[in-house]
Amino acid sequence: MMISHTAEYALRAVVWLAGHADADLGTPEIARAIQAPPGYLSKVLQALSRARLVVSHPGRNGGFRLARPPADLSVLDIINAVDPIQRIRQCPLSLDSHRGELCPLHRRLDHAISLMELAFGESTIAELLAGPADITPACELLAPNERPGGRTAPPRDGAFDYYKTPS
């Protein structure tokens, strides 16, 4: 399971804000730094603000800043604010024999999702900042047309929820 572009942009923005805690940063500046579409990032930052993970200071010299220290923000907090991880609640095969409980496959898949949630919940933004500085994420090494699915930005139809990266 991959995280959505929305969650990825949110994580990039929060990590950028955490690394620049001495100033309020505007959406255009953050968008340039994290290579995100400014209009879409604006929606992501609004969702983070509604979740009280970032604070917005309006005005000419305003911008965004983290609402809590990076050590108090988990990766799961950020993801859940913009695009919560979906657990498997019923067997999507709709077989009569699976009513009321998950089949063995979907039980295993839901368990894997729970482990992913646990890993995200135990990982803080401070830990991400403290990671090795000499590692370049693979996505930065690829040209946009070489990235999985060839996508560099969310769809233009204004869809905000449930935009997932192709698997």
Residue type, 162: Y
pTM: 0.72
Q: Which residue has the tokens 């995280």?
A: 3
Alpha carbon 157 to its chain centroid, in Å, reads 20
Task: Give domain limits for the chain.
Answer: 5-85+124-148
pLDDT digits (tens, 9 = 90+) for 57-113: 887 777 999 999 999 999 999 999 999 998 888 877 777 777 778 888 888 988 999
Confidence of residue 144 (pLDDT cuts 50, 70, 90): low
Predicted local confidence at residue 46, as pLDDT: 94
Alpha carbon 89 to its chain centroid, in Å, reads 22
Predicted local confidence at residue 163, as pLDDT: 34
Q: Which CATH number fits domain 5-85+124-148: 3.30.870.10, 1.20.1070.10, 1.10.150.120, 1.10.10.10?
A: 1.10.10.10
Predicted local confidence at residue 130, as pLDDT: 86
pLDDT of 13 over the 70 cut: yes
More confident residue, 40 or 134: 40
Predicted local confidence at residue 93, as pLDDT: 75
Predicted local confidence at residue 88, as pLDDT: 85
CA proximity to 108, closest of 92, 94, 88, 93: 88
